[in-house]
Chain A
Amino acid sequence: MIVEDNDADVFLIQEALAGTGLRIELEILLDGEQAIDFFERVEHDPDLSCPTLIILDINLPKKQGGEVLKQIRRGPKCSAAPVLVVSTSDSQPDRERMASLGADGYFRKPSEYEEFMKLGAIAKKWLGPQSS
């Protein structure tokens, strides 16, 4: 699951994940509100399950990444789901705030392609070989 409004970054994240060689089914949500709706539904609908990994941007339209993360951690189903925050910001307050809300990792979006591709290796630790 990727929550990211910037198509350019969605593309780069997909490239990075593809680089892991794992077969991954990706769902992309483009704003915070959609994401909050989705995670509310997951909690109430027995047929829906929590994504294996949630890659979450901080700066999102409508609702910010922080609020999405709060919603994720609210329900019993996703309370333990791995969340990897991605952001252009390198500021310490941002890192600390997301960590305190329950983020499992923080990846600063770099401005070089090769650097960006390192996201794949980071994501891989939560996406075991059994993932689909």
Chain B
Amino acid sequence: MTQSEVEGIQLLVSGTGDGHQYTRTILDALPVAVYTTDAQGRLTYFNPAAVTLSGRVPQLGSDQWCVTWRIYDENGTLVPHDRCPMAMLLQNIAVEPGGEYQAERPDGTRFWFMPYPALLRDADGKVTGGINVLVDTTERRNRELRAHEQFRAIIETTPECVKIVAPNGDLLFMNPSGLEMIGATRPDDVTGRSVYDLIMPEHREFYREFNERICRGEKGTLEFDIVGFAGERRNMETHAAPLRYFDGNTVQLAVTRDVTERKRQDRAALLLSAIVDSSDDAIVSKDLNGVITSWNKAAERLFGYTAAEAVGRPVAELIIPADRQEEEPQILSRLRRGERVDHFETKRQCKDGTLLDISLTISPVKDAKGTIIGASKIARNITESKRIQAALAASESQFRQLADAMPQIVWTAGPDGRVDYYNERWYEFTGFDRNTFGDISWEGILHPGDLQRCRATWYEAVKSGEPYNIEYRFFDRANQQWRWFVGRALPVRDESGTIVKWFGSCTDIDQQKRVQEDLRRANQDLEQFAFSASHDLQEPLRTVKIYSELLLKRHADALSGEAHKFLGFVHGAATRMELLIRDLLAYTHAAKIEAASEAIDSNEAFHSALADLAGLISETGAQITADHLPSVRVHSTHLQQLFQNLIGNAIKYRSRERTPEVHVAAERQQDEWIFSVRDNGIGIDPEYKENIFGLFRRLHSSDEYSGTGIGLAICRRIMDRYHGRIWVESEPGRGSVFRFSFPA
């Protein structure tokens, strides 16, 4: 019954007047409940439909306001008769129109209805009574209820998450599956909270945009990750549509599926196929009849057949050589029993006929029920490694022959430093038993004082991969004494630079070591001797010198001319000897000074030398010049001594015919500095070029040129100490150039 139909009835009654026979006939015939009252609400008329609906026969004149027995509001609360809509209208109390009520019949059954009360007025407009039309809505209500229940049941039982999200992200509703998905226990855990809090931070922004788009009226699908209440990340796929919410806003209705597992499986499947495809080993599967069912890229490369050529054909026909055909039935029968075949070495034939050495690993493939349905086969080409193995065995045997022929102890160790081989010398020297080979057996015969150092050096070398060279003592069982050895080890690397082996040797240097030690001691003694001797020699010499001088001074008158002359010889000889001793001291000192650590300015050493030679220079009028000189790593005393001796010599052996000129220069040649001291003196006969650097070597008598014959020996000794060189170039009568070189 529509609103306008109801209004038609109301108009009919009010317009024609109550009690009109024509109207009554119509009202009586109506299928909808209608009744009228007087102004006090007392019942004045009801039609048969009202009796049917209310389940009772109302009492005219005594029933007030209603025809029904009991009335309840939508919430099921009992409504007193004087508060029913009709009563309210007649009593002029405002009431919300459109309300739906439930009424109970005396037999206890209930029905839903909508009342349409209206006032009846006379010609003057005075209220004379009321009319009410009761429209039965029970069937519509029930229909709606069923639909609602069905909908609720669907929402609650669907395994997907169903949720409603407000434009601002607030979660308005979420079904039980959704709650379960995020690990919530009650709807209150999430409703009213922002859904964004559940989204992984990196997906939050695009989820927000998505939500806003849906709330603007679009439909959409989105994948995103959430982090559930338990903290675990899950992949989601959502389908969303706009929903007109009861408050008038458009919100997002979304059905979301947890796709974590599906994605994991997708990834696993992708990974597996990538692994199979990228494998260097041929991976082939076949059914229990030996027919190929899959054939990866490596199989294509290895055997030369494409997957298209291979799949569907029996393995035996394709790659098993004629003389090995019996292998396949054996393999198949083992597979049927569920056995694996591991590292089975055999031969297989390529498309081009080449035979390959192959290592096969075959495992049965089972279906979900555990039934064996085929086999997967991994074939590795070992042709090359077989060849290498053979070559390696040959080279190893060569190496052992060679190692055994060597006079040194030779050993090898793995990259981890574990010794895995010793040559014959080792067993001869140690007397160890070959059968009780031990990785660290060397520690047992090492001198306790060397043990820590050797261990540290070796393990450090293993760690850093650097070769080493170390001296230590081993106990010589045969002679019951310690002997010095030098141990060396070199890492052997493969093409990629990885150490694959250590190769080491131990060389007996005991004899050499003793000789060296003896030599060092002898040298030390000699220097000590020279040093003390020159000191102690000076003392008596001084007395000889000073008293011969005193004798000449105080007793000149008492001495004959010859005595004067003899005393002169004594004094002269003593003076010369004094010089000799001073130079010898300088000579022994030349190699004693500690190594220079810093570069020094050669110009300074040059000027110091000139200062010491000042007397000689002014006496002879010598012209000494120099270029700018470099800095070198030399002890300044040594450089000064070199300049002093060489410039001193240059002036001393000057030509009588010209003013002595000396020029000092330095020149860089590759990685050394070559200093030169050039003079215009008498020069040196080439015959004596080498001689002059020896101790006490003199080319002239002391009458001609005074000197001890030690100066150049000192220079040579200094240069030896720096592993430098000194030599002379000369043209007799025109001059000489002395050169010496220092590493730059």
Interface residues of B in 688-713 (CB under 8 A from A): none
Contacts of A131 in B (CB 8 A): none
A109 CA to B545 CA, complexed, in Å: 12
| Cβ distance A77 to chain B, nearest Cβ, rounded Å | 32
Q: Of A9, A89, A109, A116, which contacts B535 at CB under 8 A? A: A89
Q: Assess whether A113 is in contact with B546, with CB atoms less than 8 Å apart.
A: yes
The DSSP consensus for interface residues of chain B is helix
A61 CA to B287 CA, complexed, in Å: 112
Q: Of A59, A88, A91, which contacts B542 at CB under 8 A? A: A88
Interface check B539, CB cutoff 8 A:
yes
| Cβ distance B337 to chain A, nearest Cβ, rounded Å | 95
Interface check A12, CB cutoff 8 A:
yes
Question: Given A111-B578, A113-B553 in contact, is the A12-B539 Cβ separation under 8 Å?
Answer: no
Q: Assess whether B535 is in contact with A91, with CB atoms less than 8 Å apart.
A: yes
Interface check B624, CB cutoff 8 A:
no
Interface check B608, CB cutoff 8 A:
no
Q: Assess whether A113 is in contact with B543, with CB atoms less than 8 Å apart.
A: no
Interface check B538, CB cutoff 8 A:
yes
Contacts of B543 in A (CB 8 A): 6, 8-9
Q: Assess whether B542 is in contact with A109, with CB atoms less than 8 Å apart.
A: yes
Interface check A112, CB cutoff 8 A:
yes
| Cβ distance B579 to chain A, nearest Cβ, rounded Å | 11
| Interface size in chain B (residues, C-beta < 8 A) | 15
Interface check B442, CB cutoff 8 A:
no
What string of 1s and 0s marks CB contacts (under 8 Å) between B56-88 and chain A?
Answer: 000000000000000000000000000000000
| Cβ distance B425 to chain A, nearest Cβ, rounded Å | 50
- Nearest residue, chain A, Cβ from B535: A89
Interface check B549, CB cutoff 8 A:
yes
Interface check B541, CB cutoff 8 A:
yes
Q: Assess whether A8 is in contact with B547, with CB atoms less than 8 Å apart.
A: yes
| Cβ distance B392 to chain A, nearest Cβ, rounded Å | 65
Q: Assess whether A111 is in contact with B541, with CB atoms less than 8 Å apart.
A: yes
Q: Most chain-A CB neighbours within 10 Å: which of B535, B541, B574?
A: B535
Q: Most chain-B CB neighbours within 10 Å: which of A12, A89, A112, A113?
A: A113
Contacts of B553 in A (CB 8 A): 113
Q: Most chain-B CB neighbours within 10 Å: which of A59, A89, A91, A111?
A: A111
Contacts of B550 in A (CB 8 A): 113
Contacts of B542 in A (CB 8 A): 88, 109-111
Contacts of A12 in B (CB 8 A): 546
A8 CA to B539 CA, complexed, in Å: 11
A95 CA to B541 CA, complexed, in Å: 21
Q: Assess whether B546 is in contact with A111, with CB atoms less than 8 Å apart.
A: yes
A112 CA to B541 CA, complexed, in Å: 11
The DSSP consensus for interface residues of chain A is loop
- Nearest residue, chain A, Cβ from B554: A113
Q: Assess whether A88 is in contact with B546, with CB atoms less than 8 Å apart.
A: no
Contacts of A113 in B (CB 8 A): 546, 549-550, 553
Contacts of B535 in A (CB 8 A): 88-89, 91
Q: Assess whether B539 is in contact with A112, with CB atoms less than 8 Å apart.
A: no
| Cβ distance B518 to chain A, nearest Cβ, rounded Å | 27
A59 CA to B578 CA, complexed, in Å: 19
Contacts of A91 in B (CB 8 A): 535
A109 CA to B540 CA, complexed, in Å: 12
What string of 1s and 0s marks CB contacts (under 8 Å) between A92-132 and chain B?
Answer: 00000000000000000111110010000000000000000
Q: Assess whether B547 is in contact with A111, with CB atoms less than 8 Å apart.
A: no
| Cβ distance B246 to chain A, nearest Cβ, rounded Å | 108
Contacts of A110 in B (CB 8 A): 542, 546
- Nearest residue, chain B, Cβ from A8: B543
A116 CA to B553 CA, complexed, in Å: 15
- Nearest residue, chain B, Cβ from A12: B546
Interface residues of B in 534-583 (CB under 8 A from A): 535, 538-539, 541-543, 545-547, 549-550, 553, 574-575, 578
Contacts of B578 in A (CB 8 A): 111
- Nearest residue, chain A, Cβ from B552: A113
A89 CA to B535 CA, complexed, in Å: 7
A111 CA to B587 CA, complexed, in Å: 21
Q: Most chain-A CB neighbours within 10 Å: which of B535, B546, B574, B575?
A: B546
Q: Assess whether B546 is in contact with A59, with CB atoms less than 8 Å apart.
A: no
Contacts of A88 in B (CB 8 A): 535, 538-539, 542
- Nearest residue, chain A, Cβ from B543: A8
A91 CA to B538 CA, complexed, in Å: 12
Contacts of B539 in A (CB 8 A): 6, 59, 88
A12 CA to B575 CA, complexed, in Å: 19
A88 CA to B582 CA, complexed, in Å: 12
Contacts of A109 in B (CB 8 A): 542
Q: List 25 A-B contacts (CB under 8 A).
A: A6-B539, A8-B546, A8-B547, A9-B543, A12-B546, A59-B539, A88-B535, A88-B538, A89-B535, A89-B538, A109-B542, A110-B546, A111-B541, A111-B542, A111-B545, A111-B546, A111-B574, A111-B575, A112-B545, A112-B546, A112-B549, A113-B546, A113-B549, A113-B550, A113-B553
Q: Top 9 A-B pairs ranked by shortest CB distance?
A: A111-B542, A88-B539, A111-B545, A8-B543, A88-B538, A113-B549, A113-B550, A113-B546, A111-B546
Known: A109-B542, A111-B542. 17 other contacts (CB 8 A): A6-B539, A8-B543, A8-B546, A12-B546, A88-B535, A88-B538, A89-B535, A89-B538, A110-B546, A111-B545, A111-B574, A111-B578, A112-B545, A113-B546, A113-B549, A113-B550, A113-B553
